[in-house]
Amino acid sequence: MTRVFNFSAGPATLPVDVLQQVQDELLDWQGTGMSVMEMSHRGKAFVSIAEQATETLKTLLNVPDNYKILWMQGGATGQFSAVPMNLLRGRDTADYVVTGSWGKKAVKEAARYCSAQTVARPVDDKFTHVPDRDDWTLNPEAAYVHYTPNETIEGVEFPDVPDVGDVPLVADFSSTFLSRPIDVGRFGMIYAGAQKNLGPAGVTIVIVRDDLIGDVLPQTPTVLDYAKVADGESMLNTPPCFTWYVCGLVLQWIQRQGGLKAMAARNAAKAGKLYAFIDASGYYRNPVKPEHRSWMNVPFTLPDAALDADFLKGAEAAGLSTLKGHRSVGGMRASLYNAMPEAGVDALVDYMKEFAKKNG
């Protein structure tokens, strides 16, 4: 078997160590005689898996005691509805900072439930930078301020956590979750789909402050009510048990690598190496303002889009998979999540050098 370097934006590459452990335990998890996929979610075995995963996540992120960690379903897209349903709390307006495609989707969905105001967005609608903080038109009476720290499609990333005063800050961390330490206490709530840095698709992590839950819109489905999910220990219905289990193994793997500080150092080095090559190549181009470039998702273009198909064909032959950019922006995109080894970046740079030499 030969594994490729998988640069997919998600579902994404997973640590080989974790996949091997899953393989070893697939038919018989720790002497139970059954797979995790076959276990009752109410049984002691799976409850122990779930509790350990939650505790490991809490330790890695240093989650304060006045926050709930919820394992939900529906992806970030489900949270686009769940956030206003749970966090409006009697108010009728919320602020949204839009820096890419996922921010656009979030504010559009929120508008079904409240007056969702776009308070910052690039004037030319070309998502290549984060609007200057002084230009944001925040409403101090808003129920919350929502933003997307990393835009997976456009490769735009906030360099730091924005200051929004006393209004709760909400963040869709899907494509940058666990890539570095974050101060959870600065947020009212964060959420993230698992399928980038945490595990297979099927689970969405929600970390929400206690005082923000319990007062939902009347039409809120029970499975999207944060207070009820918390009371049910994330098991109001049968959860995606296997995904939860794999996420727990990935969390343990992150601990073995040295935790989130070590992840940050690795991720900064990988992204820095690829951006440095792109900038110096005179052939490839990244459109994002340097200080707002993503560590996780690196889009780049060739001088002539007519060469894209040849580039992708050669990349696949070289064991470099899923480099095609999103259809809305074209070009290429290399996603460098936690499980992507630096050797993958080295292999990509070597291939890009050869392709430019041949076609430049």
273 given a catalytic annotation: no
> Nearest 5 degrees, angle CA 71-CA 100-CA 171?
35
Question: Which amino acid, 250?
Answer: V
Query: What gap in Å lies between CA 331 and CA 328, rounded to an integer?
Result: 10
Cβ contacts of residue 132 below 8 Å, gap of 6+?
none
SS3 readout for the chain:
CCCCEECCCCCCCCCHHHHHHHHHHCCCCCCCCCCHHHCCCCCHHHHHHHHHHHHHHHHHHCCCCCEEEEEECCHHHHHHHHHHHHHCCCCCEEEEECCCHHHHHHHHHHCCCCEEEEEECCCCCCCCCCCCHHHCCCCCCCCCEEECCEECCCCEECCCCCCCCCCCEEEECCCCCCCCCCCHHHCCEEEEECCCCCCCCCCEEEEEEHHHCCCCCCCCCHHHCHHHHHHCCCCCCCCCHHHHHHHHHHHHHHHHCCHHHHHHHHHHHHHHHHHHHHHHHCCCECCCCHHHECCCEEEEECCCHHHHHHHHHHHHHCCEECCECCCCCCCEEEECCCCCCHHHHHHHHHHHHHHHHHHC
Of 68, 196, 270, 324, the active-site residue reads 196
Of 71, 172, 244, 270, the active-site residue reads 172
261 given a catalytic annotation: no
Of 29, 68, 71, 102, the active-site residue reads 102
324 given a catalytic annotation: no
Give the residue numbers marked as catalytic.
102, 172, 196
